[in-house]
Amino acid sequence: MTAVEIKKDIYWVGAIDWAVRDFHGYETPRGTSYNNYLIMDDEITLIDTVKDDFAEVTIKNIQSIVQPEKIKHIVINHIENDHATSIDRIMALTPNATIYITEKGKKGLARFFDISKWNMKVVKTGDTLNIGKRTLLFLETPMLHWPDSMMTYDKEDKVLFSQDAFGQHIASAVRFDDEFITCESMYELDDAIADYYANILMPFGQLIKSKIADVQKLGIEIDMIAPDHGIIWRANPGKILQMYMDMASGCAKLSVSIIYDTMWHSTEIMTTPIMQGIKDEGLECKIIKLRATPMSVAVKEFWKSRGTLFGTPTINNVMCPTVAQILYHLSGLRPKNRIVGAFGSFGWGGGAVKGAYEEFKKMGLEISEPGLQINYRPSLEDETKCYEFGKEFAKKVREYHKKFES
């Protein structure tokens, strides 16, 4: 992939990672990209770098436009490894460049590199950098999604370089939203956005809303959003802003996900009549078997649905480990505005369903009680109970969903 001009004299000089399927434990079936940008103004400026494995790629892309030693300014919006670990390679080529970074970014970067010989300028919200015909405005976005995070706004071109925010894990031969929708599909793009948000940004909904409000208060117009992963928003940046506002406000589909695991298929058998009950109440339903599905996909489906039922057999008086694992992971993602319930089979003492409800309570989720436990194998009579359990849950999901309808 070569450099791509995204606006006059502004180039994408990043790298496409077609092969990555495990992104720090998060499944990335579509791969990803590490986007960084070169602004060819009187004072040449690089916005972000890429993951160290791809340092050569970005250097070649930069060289296709200009010799790297001519870069005068380097903005580091975010120090996570996938964006900042090739900074040493870039600085070796342009040692007199100045790095613009937040205070926390500078402290963090010093844990990865010897920064003592680098020119570093700490910036905060409202600070600007004039690079010739353009002025760059810095906006700190702490905890979106790291303490060091910030965005950079090009006032003249109205481009927001948004680091991870508004990104998606997509490797593609095209760079822009309109191109992607034409060559792939709107559904795939929307799904990638939900996937990224659910797995990375779910804990930060309130912050996202307040930061978008801050941007609106500044009265800045946005013509293009250029994130550090995936597709660049040039045709419809308003779409991704609205999607983020909706997701941060707790929007979800009026649907149910059943996320389960099973030992000897008894809990698995329960899922079908439960699903039928949900469907007969008019709600869509997806069934996700944890052992056959990457956890990030299950997290995404949990996030997309207003309601989720977790199915777990009892093993040694507690939940099946895969179900315990996803609930533990979800507790860190701090989900809100979702209703949950649990079901499962047991042999003698039981305990898994009770354990699931204890986790739900800790997370502060809306809870549908009671759960449903079936001894050993579901009988036909038990399957009727499962069907009614599904119907009852669907009714509660529909009722709860009304809170979010305007």
Annotation marks residue 178 as catalytic = no
Name the active-site residue from 37, 196, 260, 387. 196
Per the document, the length of the chain is 406
Whether 131 and 41 have beta carbons less than 8 Å apart is answered as yes
CB of 136 to ligand FEO, least distance (A): 20
Residue 189's contacts (CB-CB under 8 Å, 6 or more residues apart) are: 168, 170, 177, 180, 181, 231
Annotation marks residue 34 as catalytic = no
Q: Which is nearer to ligand FEO, 35 or 373 (CB)?
A: 35
Annotation marks residue 24 as catalytic = yes
For ligand FEO, the nearest residue by Cβ is 80
CB of 200 to ligand FEO, least distance (A): 7
Q: Which is nearer to ligand FEO, 51 or 391 (CB)?
A: 51
Annotation marks residue 78 as catalytic = yes
Name the active-site residue from 140, 157, 164, 281. 164
Name the active-site residue from 52, 53, 80, 190. 80
Token pair in block for residue 37: 């940008």
Name the active-site residue from 73, 83, 169, 229. 229
Q: Which is nearer to ligand FEO, 70 or 104 (CB)?
A: 104
Annotation marks residue 80 as catalytic = yes
Whether 65 and 47 have beta carbons less than 8 Å apart is answered as no
Q: Which is nearer to ligand FEO, 94 or 199 (CB)?
A: 199
The dihedrals phi and psi of 142, each to the nearest 5 degrees, come to -55, 140
Q: Which is nearer to ligand FEO, 201 or 258 (CB)?
A: 201
CB of 228 to ligand FEO, least distance (A): 5
CB of 398 to ligand FEO, least distance (A): 37
Annotation marks residue 246 as catalytic = no
What are the angstrom distances between the C-alpha of 268 and each of 84, 149, 188, 194, 290?
Answer: 45, 43, 29, 27, 11
Name the active-site residue from 48, 82, 148, 359. 82
Residues forming the site for ligand FEO (CB under 6 A)? 78, 80, 82-83, 145-146, 164, 228-229
What are the angstrom distances between the C-alpha of 161 and each of 55, 198, 252?
Answer: 20, 21, 28
CB of 347 to ligand FEO, least distance (A): 44
Q: Which is nearer to ligand FEO, 78 or 306 (CB)?
A: 78
CB of 48 to ligand FEO, least distance (A): 10
Annotation marks residue 376 as catalytic = no
Annotation marks residue 82 as catalytic = yes
Whether 211 and 144 have beta carbons less than 8 Å apart is answered as yes
Query: Which residues are registered as beta bridge partners of 259?
Result: 288, 310
The set of catalytic residues is 24, 78, 80, 82, 145, 164, 196, 229
